[in-house]
Amino acid sequence: MRAVLQRVIESRVVVDGQVVGEIGPGWLVLLGVGHGDSLEIARWVAEKCVHLRGFNDDAGKMNRSVLDVGGSMLVVSQFTLYGDCSRGRRPGFDKAAPPEMAKSLYLAFCDQIREYGVRVEQGIFQADMKVSLINDGPVTLLVEREAAAAVF
């Protein structure tokens, strides 16, 4: 599972001309689900994102989490995070999870964040979304946990 976190002053996602998710200060999370990802991995990535100290304290150091600053999270599914650009000119998406599995783990990820008391807004899974944001910093971080390789 891959989560790209962008620290934002504000962010929103629009589908068919309608705002479907909008936050003030917090994290915009672009979430990709890969083959082999599990509920355990979704919980681990969610916990890491919620507690990641990416917000400044009074001394200007990144020592505060989204919980500490009372921020929100806008989570947008993005299978293209598993795009493989190593060959040819068009990315391949063989490493992305199938839609049914990805949606289930995307929703579980959002639910886990809510359990920590963070306000979560979401995009619409598999929709053509227009995402806007005002970066803060800019600060962009990657949280990733790959599924363990199968042993035969």
- Within-domain flag for 118: yes
Task: Establish whether 125 is a catalytic residue.
Answer: no
Average pLDDT for 75-83: 96
Tens-digit pLDDT profile for residues 114-125: 999 999 999 999
Distance between CA atoms of 61 and 40, rounded to whole angstroms? 31
- Within-domain flag for 149: no
Average pLDDT for 23-46: 97
Q: Which residues pair with 1 in a beta bridge?
A: none
Token pair, residue 142, equals 């990657």
Main-chain dihedrals φ then ψ at residue 46, nearest 5 degrees: -60, -45
Overall number of domains in the chain: 1
- Within-domain flag for 79: yes
- Within-domain flag for 150: no
- Within-domain flag for 11: yes
Task: Establish whether 152 is a catalytic residue.
Answer: no
User: Looking at residue 76, which CATH number applies to its domain?
Assistant: 3.50.80.10
Q: Which of 39, 27, 38 is nearest to 3 (CA)?
A: 27
Task: Establish whether 18 is a catalytic residue.
Answer: no
Q: Which domain holds residue 87?
A: 2-144
Which one of 6, 18, 55, 79 is the catalytic residue?
Answer: 79
- Within-domain flag for 71: yes
pTM: 0.93
Distance between CA atoms of 148 and 152, rounded to whole angstroms? 12
Which one of 6, 18, 55, 78 is the catalytic residue?
Answer: 78
Q: What percent of the chain has pLDDT over 90?
A: 95
- Within-domain flag for 102: yes
